[in-house]
Amino acid sequence: MTVPIVELRNAVKEYASGALRVTALRGIDLRIDPGEYAVVMGASGSGKSTLLNLLGCLDHLSAGDYLLGGENISRFSDDQLSDIRSRRIGFIFQSYNLIPQLNVLENIEVPLFYQGVSEKAAAERAVVLAERMGLADRLRHKPMELSGGQQQRVAIARSLVCDPILMLADEPTGNLDSRTGHEILELIDELHAEGKTIVMVTHDDAIAHRAQRVVRFLDGEIVSNDWNGAEKP
């Protein structure tokens, strides 16, 4: 049996803001195997981003367990989670989240810096990825000088730079026009074809068709878990 990339067991996430308690995830179980491409759908406020942040080790579970690549990281320290984020997770955000004062190459290199990869090796790797994303003539440009689609390409290159085992994308096309969005989705398809494990949040049904699998959320619970193609054993 293959070791799943993601395994959530009875995962609960509660937010306590003052006297108010919001339960964003109500004890969900989720398993994602290597090479899977899963799309998370659901109404606004249903807990999709909460799930992605947890998978991305940006937040702690309130209860339950999270196994990443077979390792239970539910009770990892902040430093350990930082290390996992830099080595094993690739994040793609709706609003790109590039660092404005850094140019394209420098933005792509950021995760490598926190791993202590040498400057030269980091630059080489960043150039390869930037070229692959079609940014060869934009290497020294600042994010402000790029179109939305180009910025998202930089973000994808950055998410790939440390060769993560899990790629997370929170509405990556949300800020893009449909044509540019389409190009980005093609890129993500390509990555999937190469064997990347991808979890993507969207609320566009058309996009959902691209994925093997659609996880539907409602009010912090998974209401359906369909495999588009063949039924999952």
Partner 1 sequence: MNTMPPKRMVKLAFKNLGQYKLRAGLTMLGIVFGVCSVVAMLSVGEGANREIQEKIQRMGSQNILIKSVKVPKDESTSGGRQSMLASYGLTYEDARQFSQFVPNLVASTPMKILRYDVQYKARKLQTDVVATVPWFLRVQHYRMVRGRFLAGSDMEFGSPVCVIGSRLARILFAGCDPIGRTLNIDRDAYTVVGIVGDIAQGELPVEGELWLGGENQNVYIPLRTYLNKRGDLFAQWSQGGGVFEKIELHEVILSIDKQENVERAVDAVRRILRKNHKQEDYSIVVPLELIRQARETRRLFNVVLGSIAAISLIVGGIGIMNIMLATVSERTREIGIRRALGATRRDIVLQFLMETLILSLSGGTVGLAIGAVIPLMITATTNVKTVLTFPSFAVAFGVSVTVSVIFGIYPARRAALMDPIEALRHE
Ligand X SMILES: Nc1ncnc2c1ncn2[C@@H]1O[C@H](COP(=O)(O)OP(=O)(O)O)[C@@H](O)[C@H]1O
Residue 111 interacting partner from ligand X, Mg ion, partner 1, none (CB closer than 5 to 8 Å by kind):
partner 1
212 binds Mg ion (CB under 5 A): no
Output the smallest distance, CB 24 to ligand X, in A: 3
What is the C-alpha to C-alpha distance for residues 105 and 141, in angstroms, rounded to an integer?
8
Read off the amino acid at residue 72.
N
Residue 91 interacting partner from partner 1, Mg ion, ligand X, none (CB closer than 5 to 8 Å by kind):
partner 1
* Of 226, 222, 179, nearest in space to 8 by CA: 222
Strands 89-92 and 166-170: parallel
CB-nearer residue toward partner 1: 15 or 224: 15
Residue bearing tokens 């989670």: 81
10 binds partner 1 (CB under 8 A): no
Q: What residue spans of the chain are helical by DSSP H?
A: 48-55, 78-88, 104-113, 119-132, 148-160, 178-193, 205-208
Binding positions for partner 1, rule: CB under 8 A: 53, 56, 58-59, 78-79, 82-83, 85-87, 91, 93, 97-102, 110-111, 113-116, 119, 158, 162
Binding positions for Mg ion, rule: CB under 5 A: 49
